Structures are given as C-alpha cells and as structure tokens.
C-alpha cells in the first residue's frame, strides 16, 4: 500500500490538499463547496466507501477519502 499523502508535501500544498475536507480554507480555495470530498471526486481511484485510495494527481501516494484538493471534479 502506498503511503498517505502528507498535507505538508509541496505538491499537496500547491493543490490545497487537506486530509479533512472540513478544514479547507475556503477563502484561499474558493472553488471548494461543502460536500466535496476525495471519495466523490472523479479522480479518486477507490470505491466511495474506501477510507483512502490513489489519486493520479499525487503519484505513489494515497489520499484520504474525506480529503479534498483544488482539482476536485464531480464524478460523472
């Protein structure tokens, strides 16, 4: 299993990734809307119920299902 993406990783910070979407700084990241989480993002590589999964944006790492980043895209 790949290690979890650290919020302090420069790649994570560049995209505003946080492991808990409730902690998004909405002033800094105005695209964020309540209800958006990694597990309902189109890029999330796990099942919606998975606590963590890969994301192609952060190769070699796993992101938290409850996380969020600025590249969030609604699942089709």
List residues near ligand SF4 by CB under 6 A. Answer: 17, 38, 41, 43-44, 55, 57, 63, 67-69, 71-72
Q: Closest distance between ligand SF4 and the C-beta of residue 66, in Å?
A: 10
Minimum distance from CB of 64 to ligand SF4 (Å)? 8
What one-character-per-residue DSSP string does 2-68 give? PPBPPTTSHHHHHTT-BSSGGG--TTT-TT--TT--GGGBTT--S-TT-SEEE-TTSTT-EEETT-B
CB count, 10 Å around CB of 57?
18
**Smallest gap, in angstroms, from Cβ of residue 6 to ligand SF4?**
13
Q: Which is nearer to ligand SF4, 35 or 41 (CB)?
A: 41
């Amino acid at each position: 299993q790949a290690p979890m993406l650290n919020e302090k990783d420069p790649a994570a910070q560049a995209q505003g990734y946080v492991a808990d979407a409730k902690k998004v700084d909405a002033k800094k990241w105005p695209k964020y809307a309540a209800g958006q989480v990694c597990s309902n993002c189109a890029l999330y590589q796990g099942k919606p119920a998975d606590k963590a999964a890969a994301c192609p944006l952060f190769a070699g790492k796993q992101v938290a299902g409850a996380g969020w980043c600025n590249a969030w895209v609604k699942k089709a």
